[in-house]
Structure 1
Amino acid sequence: MTVGAIDMVPSLHSGLLVGGQKSVAGSAIGGLPETQELLNFCAAKTILPETETIAIQDINHAFERMEKADVKYRFVIDMASLGRGS
């Protein structure tokens, strides 16, 4: 299985796929089993995401930063900020 975008896929002789009823598949993100396997691996190795938490009121500023490529981590919106006024 190929996950993610790659520039060039090496040539493949279809005869290699016929024996044993093999197939080639691709996915931009992988399926549920692959995602669960990745999450289990990260939990076992204590691998945590690197994020920057923002209030919903700061979403426009966050978007401007994203457009300027001034973002080091993924933005995560603090859902508790939804109930707060501006």
Structure 2
Amino acid sequence: MLGETDVRLTAWVHGHVQGVGFRWWTRSRALELGLTGYAANKPDGRVQVVAQGPRAACEHLLDLLKSGDTPGRVDNVVFDWSAPADALVGFTER
């Protein structure tokens, strides 16, 4: 169930992030933070991360994505914030 302070983070991660366990790593971090959503490979080589939950937890996930301590190599993270949309269950890899 979504709370009043919940947000949706949508991030597009650029770099060498496909085929290196990046989606699995993201899923693990998101579940540790209690977030719902998904990480999906995009045809252009990016990974799209959509996470919903408390703003502080989403900000922590964003910091982790930008930290340089991820599988592969992150060159840039483009992101935006929005209100939570459809209810997402769990955190999946797509």
Band the TM-score falls in, shorter-chain normalisation: under 0.3
TM-score, length-normalised on structure 1? Answer: 0.25
Instruction: Give the TM-score taking structure 2 as reference length.
Output: 0.23
Higher strand share: 2
Q: Higher Cα Rg: structure 1 or 2?
A: 1
- Relative contact order higher in (CA < 8 Å, ≥ 6 apart): 2
